[in-house]
Amino acid sequence: MALPFFTKPKHTKPLLNRCRDDLATKMRLKYDPYYHVIQAQQGSRIQLGGRDMIMLASNDYLGLSFHPKVVEAGQTALRKWGASPTGARSANGSRAYHIELEEKLAAFLGREACHVHSSGYLSCVAATASFAQKGDLIFGDKNLHSSLWDGIRLSMATVERFAHNNPDDLREALEASSPAATKMLVLEGVYSMEGHICRLPELAQLGEAHRCFTVLDDAHGLGVLGEGGRGTAAHFGLGDQVDILCGSLSKSLGSTGGFVAASREVIEYLRTNSKQTIFSAALSPAQTAIASAALDVLQNEPEHRERLWANTRRYRDMLHSLGLDTWGSETPAIPIVLGSKERAYPFWQALREKGIFTIMSIAPAVPAGKDLIRTAISALHSDEQLDQIGEAMAYAVKKVGL
Ligand code: PMP
């Protein structure tokens, strides 16, 4: 359907023309796999376009956003504190619920202190932008999330991208750098598109040897990896080599918001120097209480993680038995690599036809030749749903002629 403004004459404002040309290009692609409107959701079932479908792309890995204790905590917080955090904490004050979550998260992650923000994106920007400055050197895995790149860019430091999850390439870059430079190393615990676990022991050790301040975004590792779901550093039994842990509350903790956890002095520096922390409204009462209750459930009910991993193994085996390429994913975030948009689009469409909701991701969002369907498994998927997903995958494989 043509948008009405495409028929209007070109605008006199060049910036609006640029937006219009960009949109016109996208419309010509004749597919619309993004910004769907979902009419209803209950667990891993959604309703889209009047049809019941299975959600196979949610980051709610443990399904805690539907856990009765989590929902109840959100409702109680709303009644007690109202809907809004009313402003930035630097000016309007922290609330007891912020402190409670921060202390709990810091203890869970084995850090002295923690600060929560209204989004994971903001936390990741803050964790990078606030600590590096012009003249510093930042080494970043080339597949980092865009929030980290934004923070890195804001810092004005010089950037060195190293090959994805590749210690040899990082070593080379570090050895070629000035020993006198102040350095930061930025990594992700689990790379969300690829499902790869960071080669943290080797990478963090290199960082340590070259006196890097190391930032680890564990948005997709928290709740999934490590003893009790403590994340990627815990998975490898590492602690001190990572100076900052940051991430999101919107994945395994079933809420929204983000966190930065580190030593007390680092968090104090963040609170007094980070623009994202000082000038943005706080995490809301309900979202804070939801994350806090989810953290309790994560610690008290290990069955959700057990179910997540059982589902992950079964699903991954099924994809491999169909000959599908999962890019070596080791986690519940499992891509199906199809290699071109000409294959990815009909595959995505075939799954949708069979009632399976997934996300298509094509170049330049992924490297050329890695066009893929992003899927994510959840503890909420039932055995029957996994069967239905298997049938849909077999159908898509046949339809695309793989
Ligand atoms: N880091 C990573 C690795 C992510 O995948 C995301 C979200 N997709 C974020 C940070 C940002 O988190 P949020 O969506 O909570 O803003």
- Going by CA atoms, what residue is nearest to atom 14 of ligand 1? 120
Q: Are the C-beta atoms of 252 and 219 separated by less than 8 Å?
A: no
Residue 374 belongs to a domain: yes
Residue 1 belongs to a domain: no
> Could you tell me if 175 and 239 lie in one domain?
yes
Of 300, 319, 344, the last residue of a domain is: 300
> Could you tell me if 118 and 141 lie in one domain?
yes
> Could you tell me if 93 and 197 lie in one domain?
yes
> Could you tell me if 275 and 315 lie in one domain?
no
Residue 97 belongs to a domain: yes
> Could you tell me if 316 and 286 lie in one domain?
no
Q: If pLDDT is split at 50, 70 and 90, which confidence band does 397 have? A: very high
- Element at 360 (helix H, strand E): strand 359-361
Report which of 223, 154, 163, 168 is spatially closest to residue 190, judged by C-alpha positions. 223
The residue whose CB lies within 8 Å of the most ligand 1 atoms, and thus the one to mutate among 196, 197, 222, 248, is 248
Ligand 1 closest atom vs CA 59: 8
Read off the amino acid at residue 338: L
> Could you tell me if 311 and 214 lie in one domain?
no
Q: Which residues of 225-250 are buried (b: 16+ CB within 10 A; e: fewer)?
A: bbeebbbbbbbbebeebbbbbbbbbb
> Could you tell me if 151 and 200 lie in one domain?
yes
Ligand 1 closest atom vs CA 122: 16
Name every protein residue with a CB atom under 6 angstroms from any ligand 1 atom. Answer: 119-121, 124, 145, 147, 188, 192, 217, 219-220, 248, 250, 258
Range of the domain at 198: 66-300
Distance 248 CA to ligand 1 centre (A): 6
> Could you tell me if 96 and 219 lie in one domain?
yes
Distance 229 CA to ligand 1 centre (A): 18
Distance 11 CA to ligand 1 centre (A): 35
Q: What angle (nearest 5°) sits at the alpha carbon of residue 230, between those of residues 144 and 386?
A: 80
Token pair, residue 288, equals: 């804070």
Taking only the tens place, the pLDDT of each residue in 239-286 is 889 999 999 999 999 999 999 999 999 999 999 999 999 999 999 999
Residue 34 belongs to a domain: no
Distance 249 CA to ligand 1 centre (A): 9
Cα dihedral across residues 267, 271, 277, 283: positive or negative: positive
> Could you tell me if 365 and 383 lie in one domain?
yes
Taking only the tens place, the pLDDT of each residue in 170-197 is 999 999 999 999 999 999 999 999 999 9
**pLDDT of residue 32 exceeding 70:** no
Distance 120 CA to ligand 1 centre (A): 5
Residues in Cβ contact with 309 at an 8 Å cutoff, skipping those fewer than 6 apart: 332
**pLDDT of residue 2 exceeding 50:** no
Of 300, 320, 345, the last residue of a domain is: 300
Taking only the tens place, the pLDDT of each residue in 225-237 is 999 999 999 999 9
What 8-state DSSP symbol labels residue 356? E
Residue 112 belongs to a domain: yes
- Going by CA atoms, what residue is nearest to atom 5 of ligand 1? 192
Q: In 51-165, at which residue ranges do the beta strands (DSSP E only) sit?
A: 51-55, 113-117, 137-141, 158-162
Q: Are the C-beta atoms of 150 and 125 separated by less than 8 Å?
A: yes
CATH number for position 309: 3.90.1150.10
Residue 155 belongs to a domain: yes
**Residue 369, by phi and psi: left (phi above 0), alpha (psi -120 to 50) or beta?**
left
| Sheet with 372-376: strands ordered across | 333-337, 372-376, 359-361
As for how many domains the chain has, the answer is: 2
Q: If pLDDT is split at 50, 70 and 90, which confidence band does 326 have? A: very high
Residue 296 belongs to a domain: yes
CATH number for position 224: 3.40.640.10
How many other β-carbons are positioned within 10 Å of the β-carbon of residue 401?
7
Q: Are the C-beta atoms of 331 and 312 separated by less than 8 Å?
A: yes
Task: Read off the pLDDT of each residue in 206-232 and give the average, rounded to a whole number.
Answer: 98
Of 300, 333, 362, the last residue of a domain is: 300
Distance 59 CA to ligand 1 centre (A): 10
Residue 29 belongs to a domain: no
The residue whose CB lies within 8 Å of the most ligand 1 atoms, and thus the one to mutate among 147, 224, 259, 290, is 147
Query: What is the ipTM for the molecules in this complex?
Result: 0.99
Distance 181 CA to ligand 1 centre (A): 29
> Could you tell me if 99 and 85 lie in one domain?
yes
> Could you tell me if 325 and 184 lie in one domain?
no
> Could you tell me if 236 and 375 lie in one domain?
no
